[in-house]
A and B are shown apart, each in its own frame.
Chain A
Amino acid sequence: MAEALAAQVRSASVGTEPVIELVGAGKTYRTGAIEFEALREVDLRIGAGEYVAVVGPSGSGKSTLMHLIGCLDTLTVGSYRLAGEDISELTEVELARIRNHRIGFVFQQFHLLPSLSAWRNVELPMLYGRVPPGERRERAVDALERVGLGDKLHNRPGELSGGQQQRVAVARALVGEPDLLLADEPTGNLDSASTADVLALLDELNGQGRTIVLITHEPDVAAHADRVVRVLDGQVRSDEPSAGRRAGAR
């Protein structure tokens, strides 16, 4: 029932205003006299509510693509619109604001601050988003409850398992209600049980209408997405519905 409703929401939003719109995007790195073209002529549209996996071997440019999508880096050529906003010309301060408001990050290494408790970690993005202190705590607790860690609010990352740590990171990504959840190899450091755990959580969030871009090199993980974008040598080689979806197996 919920599944059907979510699918409805998804199909309604796909094709309307895209969350991500990259046109002719390219990125060239310069190290002294040496130029390295990490990404070229990438055209990519991702609509609201989509669940997209970006796959490719290491060195393919998928990390660069993720940095560009995540506004952690800027394009050399082409244009990038995120949730309707052209961000190719923004300053560092404006990029920080976009990251804060529009994007939730989940990293392979979790990137939790070891000295802070779970809820303090989840609170972090709100510290930079002018959310009043009382509301910050409330929302942090809500987010942790949503990822099933309502009983671990005061535990520090060192006291949590890898899977739990990654769920704290997911809660931190969610807490600002971003337009886009960007997960970079989120299961890369997890055992199979925790992997299943975190992927189920992402599925659930996507089911609730959240746009997710997942970067991975594992086909099993990519199979959770609706759509798979394959990157090789800095270019998009294929862009098609995922094998898992086509088979109808979820």
Chain B
Amino acid sequence: MSWAETLRTGLAAIRTHGLRSTLTVLGILIGIAAVILTVGLGLGTQKDVSEQISSLGSNLLIVTPGSSLSLEGLRGGFGTRPTLTRDDAEALASSVNTPDVAGVAPEKSTSLSLETSQTNWTTTVVGTTEDWPSVRGRTLSSGSFFTAADDAAAAAVVVLGSSTATELFGTTDVVGQSVTISDVTFTVVGVLADAGASDSTDLDDMAVIPLTTASQQVIGGRDRNSLTTVYVQAASTEQLSAAYQETETLLLNLHGISSADSADFTINSQDALVSTATAVYRTLTVLLTGIAALSLLVGGIGVMNIMLVSVTERTREIGLRKALGAPPWAIRRQFLAEAAVLGLAGGVLGAVLGILAARVLPDLLDTSIVVSGLAVGGSVVVAIGIGLTFGVYPATRAARLAPIDALRSE
């Protein structure tokens, strides 16, 4: 009996029991769709995160106060004494000991309410210096960024993100308008161009003011000298690790700390952030995929169940085929083909459902789903494999039936 004949017989048998076959296929289908979606969701989230991190700028080191190495939590009295100051940032920018550092952007940020005569909007207010656009890789769509002179004079000038401008004024054509932050009236001097790359709108919703203005008039208090973050830009990708070393050494010297283990600051590279973030998501993805794979296993047991029923139900047919000269292997192959077809149908339909869901779900849930060809192809192969694996036992049972017993059964 040829493979084509075997397949035809298998398909005919599946068609004869339409409802039953459909339900069996449904078990596999759901499992396959679930696997494709969870893998896609994991990949999508990883992609989102790495895009967000790379949209911070290029070749960046991110210096934050406090130590992440300490087991006791943050080290160095974060909140009691500023551990990262403007002096640190200026030293990094100007020292002869940091030849691989191309630019430094200190940031002191907090969430505050911006007010106009009409409305108000709460957003992230960032105090920084004139180098911020080049270090963070941002451009302006209108107006200009504030200057070193504005910073030195603690001028009340602000550059708005495009969404912030739209929220406050209904337009991005707002240069010259006034906005009040913490009772200080600022003049809008520029609007940032859209960050674009990421789905996240955070980068387009902010207000950037001179660091001096921020520390003296807006974000005061005990922490007036401390910085939230210092972005250090290396001159090139190749110089990133040299810049890392220089930054660490300089900051340790400035802070009078002898060992890097007791540093009161943390330096992260974008790569490190990406790998940390994606590692978390990868673990999650593996976990979820595992759960989805379990549903595939259940689907496989469904196939076995249905094939066993089919063998029992068709005992007479098996007996007859044997009497007519079907060798055991032909019977086994017939039932295996049937199981494989069930698996294949479940795999293909599951892949279609998964791909469709991957199209529709991101619009509903605000997440990215990346459907990889490997996941789709792999799932279909796995589905056939499941059909075959769980078909082996029923098929072998069918092949072993003695023809006379099989013929006698009613």
Chain B residues near A237 (CB, 8 Å)?
A: none
Please tell me the size bucket of the interface on B. 20 to 34
Are the C-beta atoms of A92 and B320 separated by less than 8 Å?
no
**What residues make up the interface of B, taking CB atoms closer than 8 Å to A?**
1, 5, 12-13, 16, 316-317, 319-330, 402-404, 407
Chain B residues near A230 (CB, 8 Å)?
A: none
Least Cβ distance of B3 to chain A in Å?
A: 12
Chain A residues near B317 (CB, 8 Å)?
A: 113
Which residue in B1, B319, B403 is a CB contact (below 8 Å) of A128?
B1
A73 within 8 A of B: yes
Which residue in B316, B322, B402 is a CB contact (below 8 Å) of A96?
B322
Are the C-beta atoms of A115 and B320 separated by less than 8 Å?
no
Are the C-beta atoms of A124 and B404 separated by less than 8 Å?
no
The answer to whether A113 and B324 touch (CB under 8 A), given A72-B404, A127-B1, is no
The answer to whether A111 and B325 touch (CB under 8 A), given A72-B403, A72-B404, A128-B330, is no
Contact with B along A96-125 (1 / 0, CB 8 A): 110111000101000101011000000011
Please tell me the size bucket of the interface on A. 20 to 34
Are the C-beta atoms of B404 and A127 separated by less than 8 Å?
no
Which chain A residue shows the least CB distance to B5? Answer: A127
Are the C-beta atoms of B325 and A99 separated by less than 8 Å?
yes
Are the C-beta atoms of A125 and B324 separated by less than 8 Å?
yes
Which residue among A96, A116, A172 has the maximum number of chain B CB atoms within 10 Å of its CB? A96
Are the C-beta atoms of A72 and B323 separated by less than 8 Å?
yes
Are the C-beta atoms of B324 and A124 separated by less than 8 Å?
yes
What is the CA–CA distance of A100 and B326 in the complex, to the nearest angstrom? Answer: 8
Counted as pairs of residues, one from A and one from B, with CB atoms less than 8 Å apart, the total is 60
Are the C-beta atoms of B407 and A100 separated by less than 8 Å?
no
A70 within 8 A of B: yes
Least Cβ distance of A201 to chain B in Å?
A: 19
What is the CA–CA distance of A200 and B81 in the complex, to the nearest angstrom? Answer: 114
What is the CA–CA distance of A72 and B325 in the complex, to the nearest angstrom? Answer: 10
Are the C-beta atoms of A96 and B325 separated by less than 8 Å?
yes
What is the CA–CA distance of A93 and B325 in the complex, to the nearest angstrom? Answer: 9
Which residue in A70, A100, A113 is a CB contact (below 8 Å) of B320?
A113
A selection of 17 A-B contacts at a CB cut-off of 8 Å is: A70-B323, A72-B323, A72-B403, A93-B328, A93-B329, A96-B326, A100-B325, A100-B326, A111-B316, A113-B320, A115-B12, A124-B320, A128-B1, A128-B321, A128-B324, A128-B327, A172-B324
Closest 3 CB pairs of A and B: A100-B325, A96-B327, A128-B325
Chain A residues near B1 (CB, 8 Å)?
A: 127-128
A67 within 8 A of B: yes
Chain A residues near B323 (CB, 8 Å)?
A: 70, 72, 99, 105, 111
What is the CA–CA distance of A248 and B283 in the complex, to the nearest angstrom? Answer: 91
Residues 121-146 of A at the B interface (beta carbon under 8 Å):
124-125, 127-129
Chain B residues near A105 (CB, 8 Å)?
A: 323-324
